[in-house]
């Protein structure tokens, strides 16, 4: 396997300024391949998914840990081409967040929110997934022992599928649960629906504002869908009651709600749906603010839970769900050459695609 002298990379040299309207800048450049430290490997990238988080950094003023210029991208799959410990030649999925594994948070089992964690495209120097190669610690890489799908396609597991799985673990989702997913038609929401069903939910209700995308949810995990575009919270509750009655599950208590839209309307709706002994798990991100009467949590004995990324230890289980066909990724993805990154970012930002676009290096 060839080891390059340079890493070819698309750097965000300047993010957009939402206040002034100045557009961000992506620049194709080369950087030196760093000397590998203890436990580090060099990965030749097969594919990197374009995530809502990347758009937040580029368009919405969401700050990165390391200031630009840096390369975005954290949904990565590839092949190890350099490093020690028998890693060379292994195909891997890179965890979107990599804990230090040596702090109190990590020891408590919550390493996905480790304060010293590393995230490609954010807090690992200038390095991210929209590149030819990346240097990373090997300890938490998820090895792909066999596969039928192209290696690049499996990159979306690194966030779009593992993030919902972590959310399900935080919710203690299990057999017989009633699950509601707001933002069900999006990249994370569509996989949240599938993960919930794969883990045994009795009924999964997908909520969004696009009939065509909601119809797709019905093919992949959702038992029922609701278009909330013309409905207020009361109207949505009425629809949920009808569905629950048909399915023989309770509608007014114990539901587990996963907010995946990362939008103010979606979060407002999810808050309004939270009921007795229910759980709301906030999966999507937005800079918008919400108003909620916290005393409802006391009165309902309910919970609002945040979730971030996914523990690396869960990645093999998620990969298995995909390999066994219990979670489908092919209908939700599309590959493009990485040279089209500028156009792809605009397309995804403008919501002109219903697919998770994976960029494949074509340097």
pLDDT value at 232 more than 90: yes
Q: 109 — alpha (psi -120 to 50), left (phi > 0) or beta?
A: left
Architecture of domain 6-159+310-360: Alpha-Beta Complex (3.90)
pTM, rounded to two decimals: 0.95
Sign of dihedral through CA atoms 60, 66, 71, 73? negative
20-57: per-residue pLDDT in tens?
999 999 999 999 999 999 999 999 999 999 998 999 99
| pLDDT, average across residues 275-300 | 96
Q: Where are the beta strands (DSSP E) in 91-202?
A: 91-94, 133-137, 142-143, 178-182
User: What b/e readout covers 19-57, taking b as 16+ CB neighbours within 10 angstroms?
Assistant: eeeeebebeebebebeeeeeebbbbbbbbbbbbbbbbbb
Mean local confidence (pLDDT), 234-252: 94
Length of the chain as a residue count = 363
- The whole-angstrom separation of Cα 236 and Cα 115 is 38
Mean pLDDT of 219-232: 98
- Report cis status (omega within 30 of 0) of the bond before 69: yes
Beta bridge partners of 30: 8
pLDDT band at 3 (very low <50, low <70, confident <90, very high): confident
pLDDT tens column, 167-183: 999 999 999 999 999 99
pLDDT of 112 over the 90 cut: yes
Provide the residue ranges of all domains of the chain, joining segments of one domain with +.
Answer: 6-159+310-360, 162-306
Given a cut of 80, whether residue 340 has pLDDT beyond it is yes
Mean pLDDT, the chain, as a whole number? 96
Q: Taking residues 295-321, what's their average pLDDT? A: 98
pLDDT in tens, 86-108: 999 999 999 999 999 999 999 99
Taken in order 128, 6, 33, 154, the sign of the CA dihedral is: positive
In this prediction, residue 280 carries a pLDDT of: 98
Average pLDDT for 109-137: 95
CA quadruple 46, 50, 53, 55: dihedral positive or negative? positive
DSSP string across 244-303 = HHHHT--SSBS-EEEE-S-SHHHHHHHHHH--BT-EEEE-S--S------THHHHHHT-E
* 252 pLDDT tier (thresholds 50, 70, 90): confident
CB atoms inside a 10 Å sphere around CB 291: 6
Does the pLDDT of residue 16 top 90, yes or no?
yes
Task: Please provide the CATH number assigned to the domain covering 162-306.
Answer: 3.40.50.720
Cα–Cα distance measured from residue 205 to residue 87, given in angstroms and rounded to the nearest whole number = 42
Between the alpha carbon of residue 352 and those of residues 105, 107, 142, 291, 356, the distances in Å are 40, 43, 32, 30, 11
Mean pLDDT (whole number) for 315-326 = 98
Query: Taking the alpha carbons of 357, 60, 292, 114 in that order, is the dihedral positive or negative?
Result: positive
pLDDT band at 316 (very low <50, low <70, confident <90, very high): very high
The secondary structure element, H or E, covering residue 238 is helix 233-247
d(CA 286, CA 157): 22
Q: Give the pLDDT band of residue 287 (cuts 50, 70, 90).
A: confident
Instruction: Quickly tell me which residue has 């995230």 as its tokens.
Output: 119
Above pLDDT 70, what percent of the chain?
100
- Spell out where the chain has E strands: 6-14, 25-32, 40-49, 75-83, 91-94, 133-137, 142-143, 178-182, 203-208, 224-227, 256-259, 279-282, 303-306, 333-337, 356-360
When pLDDT is averaged across residues 139-153 and rounded to a whole number, the result is 97
Pairing of strands 75-83, 6-14: unpaired
Per-residue pLDDT at 251 exceeds 90: no
- Cβ-proximal residues to 184 (8 Å cutoff; 6+ apart), any chain: 190, 192, 193, 206, 207, 208, 214, 217, 222, 225, 260
Beta bridge partners of 135: 42
Interatomic CA distance for residues 145 and 151, integer angstroms: 11
User: Which burial class, exposed, middle or buried, applies to 355 when counting CB atoms under 10 A from its CB (0-12, 13-18, 19+)?
Assistant: middle
Residue 123 has pLDDT above 90, yes or no: yes
pLDDT for residue 354:
87
Residue that the structure tokens 């590393």 belong to: 118
Please name which of 362, 363, 340 lies closest in space to residue 353, comparing C-alpha atoms: 340
d(CA 347, CA 349): 5
């Amino acid at each position: 396997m060839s080891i390059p002298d340079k890493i070819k990379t698309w750097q965000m040299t300047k993010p957009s300024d939402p206040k002034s309207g100045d557009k961000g800048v992506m620049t194709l450049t080369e950087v030196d391949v760093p000397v590998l430290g203890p436990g580090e490997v060099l990965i030749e990238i097969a594919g990197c998914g374009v995530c809502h988080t990347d758009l937040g950094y580029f368009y919405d003023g969401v700050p990165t840990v390391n200031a630009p210029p840096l390369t975005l991208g954290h949904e990565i799959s590839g092949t190890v081409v350099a490093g020690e410990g028998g890693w060379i030649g292994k195909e891997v999925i890179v965890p979107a967040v990599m804990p230090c594994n040596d702090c109190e948070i990590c020891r408590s089992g919550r390493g996905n929110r480790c304060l010293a964690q590393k995230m490609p495209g954010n807090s690992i120097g200038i390095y991210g997934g929209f590149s030819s190669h990346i240097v990373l610690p090997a300890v938490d890489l998820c090895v792909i022992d066999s596969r039928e799908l192209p290696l690049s396609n499996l990159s979306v597991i690194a966030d779009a599928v593992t993030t919902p799985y972590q959310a399900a673990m935080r919710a203690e989702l299990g057999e017989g649960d009633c699950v509601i997913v707001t933002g069900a038609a999006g990249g994370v929401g569509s996989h949240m629906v599938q993960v919930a069903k794969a883990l045994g939910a009795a009924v999964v209700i997908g909520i969004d504002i696009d009939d065509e995308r909601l119809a797709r949810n019905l093919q992949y995990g959702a038992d029922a869908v609701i278009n909330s575009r013309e409905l207020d919270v009361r109207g949505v509750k009425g629809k949920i009651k009808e569905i629950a009655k048909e399915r023989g599950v309770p509608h007014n208590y114990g539901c587990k709600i996963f907010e995946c839209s990362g939008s103010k309307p979606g979060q407002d709706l999810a808050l309004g749906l939270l009921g007795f002994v229910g759980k709301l798990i906030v999966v999507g991100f937005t800079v918008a603010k919400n108003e909620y009467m916290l005393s409802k949590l006391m009165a309902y004995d309910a919970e609002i839970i945040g979730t971030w990324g996914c523990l690396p230890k869960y990645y093999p289980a998620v990969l298995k769900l995909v390999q066994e066909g219990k979670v489908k990724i092919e209908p939700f993805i599309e590959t493009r050459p990485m040279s089209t990154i500028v156009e792809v970012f605009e397309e995804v930002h403008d919501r002109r695609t219903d697919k998770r676009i994976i960029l494949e290096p074509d340097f």
